[in-house]
Amino acid sequence: MPRRIEFFEGTLTNTDEIESVRIFDTTLRDGEQSPRTSFDYNDKRAIAELLDEMGTHVIEAGFPVNSDPEFEAVSDIAAATDATTCGLARVVEKDVQAAIDAGVDMVHVFVSTSDVQLQDSMHASREEAVNRAVKSVEQVRDAGLEVMFSPMDATRTNESFLVEVVEAVSEAGVDWINIPDTCGVATPTRFAKLIRLVGEHTDARIDVHTHDDFGLATANAMSGFEAGAHQAQVSVNGIGERAGNAAFEEVVMSAESLYNVDTGIDTTRITELAKLVEEKSTIPIPVNKAVVGDNAFAHESGIHAAGVMENTDTFEPGVMTPEMVGASREFVLGKHTGTHSVRKRLEELNYEPSDSEVRAVTKLVKEFGAEKEQITDSVIARFAEEVGVAEADSEEVRV
């Protein structure tokens, strides 16, 4: 499905803020860290296979040192996928070695850098954090693998110390520096400023990892791209620690549709991917979830439905269609329904209503919907019979 960029007259006409977007998917690692969620071996393989088929650039397959089953899953995903595979490791020698031994293409090492985490989680000094970060980066480099480093809790880290850590791992030869908003406290403008600052102190490519505690994860990820980041870490349906991560589907479609960037991702399988992760994670997709929720391309309001039937761009983004993400448009009948939707549904059910009959059925639909009742095809058929609407093939003569 070709990308469709068609902004009309208005304020949102500039689509050249971002040159390229790479997608680092962490559904199988950070996504699995969602409370009350766990993927088994087959779950991980199925999700990784689809991510790979869709053209995802990097798949963070897991935390190899965590357990033997985790190591096996990461190892098998690394062997079976074309995407760059990544294993997570603390700045601990055995963690890094486990990731190397799993056969991944990239090792992602991390250490806390904020004072609160250093003091009350790691129980380490700033100097120890820097030394362990450098040593871990060198260990991965010596193994001949790509290495990513994360200063965990970067957005709550002392600025001068963050620069010190970034410069130290850069000198050690790091390939990627990931800037994580670990506790979801960033705002788009502030995060962009931070990414620009980091870019001034490293030649490594910059990756961003944003959390959704205030509902700003995707906005922060996109601001990171605008500030020069090359890649964003995302999870399908936004699952992850606490309120979750920047959502795969939101970041990809924002890049494709709002910024006119070809991500290389097969967007027509996004809904399929979302449903798979919903099933395997047992975390329901909210109906109003952007891009993949049941209501993302659904219309009930009479004014909206009538407009969309005439021209879908009237009350949909215009630059993103359901077909682009493998979804379908739906006209829902309820309290706010207008005659256009009712006529459409009646005709789909093989009725041939007059204008007055459409108005009569619409009145019944509104009353029924006001009682919070679900209006199914059988309910519409019952209303049609009550009003006396003839079927299209019927020879019944209306009185």
**Tokens found for residue 319:** 């630059």
* Separation CA 389–CA 352 (nearest Å): 7
* Separation CA 217–CA 75 (nearest Å): 30
Confidence (pLDDT) at 399: 36
Confidence (pLDDT) at 362: 83
Confidence (pLDDT) at 196: 98
List the chain residues with pLDDT less than 50: 5, 396-399
- Tell me what percent of the residues of the chain surpass a pLDDT of 70: 94
The DSSP symbol for 10 reads S
Q: What is the pLDDT of residues 48-93, one digit of tens each?
A: 999 999 999 999 999 999 999 999 999 999 999 999 999 999 999 9
- Which residues, 6 or more positions from 199, have their beta carbon under 8 angstroms from its beta carbon? 206, 227, 228
Q: How far is CA 100 from CA 33, 40, 56, 75, 132, in A?
A: 22, 22, 21, 10, 17
Confidence (pLDDT) at 10: 58
Within a 10 A sphere around the Cβ of 364, how many other Cβ atoms? 18
Three-class secondary structure of residue 1 per DSSP: coil
* Separation CA 229–CA 390 (nearest Å): 61
Could you tell me the domains of the chain?
A: 22-281 (3.20.20.70), 297-394 (no CATH)
Confidence (pLDDT) at 398: 43
Q: What is the pLDDT of residues 218-232, one digit of tens each?
A: 999 999 999 999 999
DSSP codes, 178-233: EEEETTS---HHHHHHHHHHHHTT-SSEEEEEEB-TTS-HHHHHHHHHHTT--EEE
C-alpha torsion 196→200→201→203, nearest 10: 100
Q: Contact 138/98 with Cβ under 8 angstroms?
A: no
Confidence (pLDDT) at 12: 60
* Separation CA 48–CA 399 (nearest Å): 62
